[in-house]
Amino acid sequence: MSRSNLLVLATGGTIAGIAGHAMRQDYRAGQIGIDQWLADAQSLGMEARLTGRQIANVDSKDIGPAIWSELYEAITDAIADDAIDGIIVTHGTDTAEETAFALDLTLPVTKPVVLVGAMRPADAVGSDGMRNFVNAVRVASDPDAAGRGVLLVMGDRVLAARDARKVRTRGTDDAFRGFPRGGVALVTPGALEWFGRPWRESDGARFTFPREWPRVPILYAAAGVEAAMVGRLVDAHCDDPAASGIVVAGVGEGNMPESVTAELARLASEGLVVVRASRVDEGLVDREPEDAANGSIAARALNPQKARILLKILLANAVRDPEAIQAAFDDP
C-alpha cells in the first residue's frame, strides 16, 4: 500500500461502541473517541497516515441533516486540500446507507470517500470493526476508488452508495447487500479487487447540498391501509403540500389500495410529488402507464429511505418537473 494521507471523520455507531463485557448483549454505540481509535489502528502497522476528526459520537439513529452538513463541509475542505488523498467516515450501520447516498448525490468524485461501520462493538468476541476499518483504509488509499462516488465498506465487500442497504439486524457476514448491483469490489487488509471501471461520467457534484432539507414523509403501505393516512401524513409533515413530496413504501412493485392511489393522485394534481417505492427488500419499481395518469414517479431500484433522500435533494434544488424527477430516479 502506498503511503497515503487519509482524513478520518468519526461520527460514532457500533464501530465505536463498547459493551463493557464480552458476553453482554446490550452495548452503547459511540463510546470510543477518534484519537483512541486511530492509536489502535496505527499499532497494526498500517502504512497510511491517518488524521482524525470527531464530528459526532452518536448512534446513527440520531444522524440527519445537521451531521450530514458537517460531514459535507469537512469532506469538501478535504477534497480541496492537496495534502489529503482520501476520506473515511466511521458511522453507525443503521443509517449508513442514507448518509452515504446523501453525500454521494452532493459531493464531487475526485477523491475516494468511504463510509465504514461495524455490526459488533469493539470489545465483542469477534468484533468486526477494526477489520472493516483497515479494509476501508485500503479502499480510501487507492486512487482508483475516485470516480465511483461514495463507497461503503462492510466486511470484505465494497458497495456503492446507491446500492448499499442494511438487510440484517444481526451478524457480520451478510448484514449489507448491494442492489441492483451487488458489491463493486472485494477488499481485505492485503488486497483490493475492483469489478469494473469507475462509472461516474463527470467529476462534479450532481446536486447542490441543501441548506434546508424539505420534509418528505414515507407512507408505509400494508394490507388495508386507509386513504385517510395520506391526509394525516401530508398535513403533519409537508410544510406546503403544493411544493412538497411523499414517498410510498408500497406493497410488491410499489402498489397500494385504490383508495390510497386516488387520494395521492388528487394531491399530485395540486402539486405534491408522489414517489412509488417498494417495501420489498430488493424491490424494483418500474414506471407504469398509471403513473402518467396519476402524476406519480417510480422509484426504480431505490428503497423508500433512499427515495426520500433523493426527493428531498431534488426539491431543495428546485427540480419539480415530473420528467426531470423521473430521470433522476432512473439514473440516481
User: 302 and 280 in contact (C-beta within 8 Å)?
Assistant: no
Binding segment toward ligand ASP, per CB under 6 A, in 37-45, 89-97, 133-141, 229-237: 89-97
Report the residue number, 59 or 85, with the smaller CB distance to ligand ASP: 59
The pattern of x and - marking residues 11 through 30 that bind ligand ASP according to CB under 6 A reads --xx--------------x-
Binding segment toward ligand ASP, per CB under 6 A, in 44-52, 73-81, 91-99, 283-291: 91-99
Kindly state whether residue 93 participates in binding ligand ASP, applying the rule CB under 6 A: yes
Interface positions, 27-56, toward ligand ASP (CB under 6 A): 29
Contacts of 314 (CB under 8 A, 6+ apart): 207, 273, 320, 324, 325, 328
Binding segment toward ligand ASP, per CB under 6 A, in 92-100, 103-111, 289-297, 303-311: 92-100
Interface positions, 112-151, toward ligand ASP (CB under 6 A): 117, 119
Q: CB 49 → ligand ASP: shortest distance, Å?
A: 26
Among 6, 34, 48, 59, binds ligand ASP (CB under 6 A): 59
User: 50 and 6 in contact (C-beta within 8 Å)?
Assistant: yes
E strand spans, 99-215: 113-116, 150-154, 157-160, 164-166, 176-178, 185-188, 191-194
Q: CB 28 → ligand ASP: shortest distance, Å?
A: 10
Catalytic residues: 14
The pattern of x and - marking residues 154 through 193 that bind ligand ASP according to CB under 6 A reads ----------------------------------------
Binding segment toward ligand ASP, per CB under 6 A, in 1-9, 87-95, 152-160, 197-205: 87-95
Residue of 296, 308, 307, 216 lying closest to 263 (CA atoms): 296
Residue of 137, 142, 138, 140 lying closest to 150 (CA atoms): 140
Interface positions, 100-119, toward ligand ASP (CB under 6 A): 117, 119
Pairing assessment for the beta strands 176-178 and 164-166 based on DSSP bridges: antiparallel
Cell numbers standing for residue 302: 431505490
Q: CB 51 → ligand ASP: shortest distance, Å?
A: 23
User: 16 and 37 in contact (C-beta within 8 Å)?
Assistant: yes
Report the residue number, 146 or 175, with the smaller CB distance to ligand ASP: 175
With the C-alpha atoms ordered 163, 30, 113, 209, is the resulting torsion angle positive or negative?
Answer: positive
Sheet holding 157-160, edge to edge: 49-58, 5-12, 86-90, 113-116, 150-154, 157-160, 185-188, 191-194
Q: CB 16 → ligand ASP: shortest distance, Å?
A: 9
Interface positions, 253-292, toward ligand ASP (CB under 6 A): none
* Bridge partners for 89 per DSSP: 9, 115
Binding segment toward ligand ASP, per CB under 6 A, in 68-76, 90-98, 103-111, 206-214: 90-98
User: 192 and 140 in contact (C-beta within 8 Å)?
Assistant: no
Q: CB 93 → ligand ASP: shortest distance, Å?
A: 3
Whole-angstrom CA distances from 18 to 28, 130, 171 are: 6, 13, 17
Residue of 269, 270, 332, 267 lying closest to 306 (CA atoms): 332
How far apart are the C-alpha atoms of 166 and 224, rounded to whole Å?
27
Q: CB 60 → ligand ASP: shortest distance, Å?
A: 3
Residues that bind ligand ASP (CB under 6 A): 13-14, 29, 59-60, 92-94, 117, 119
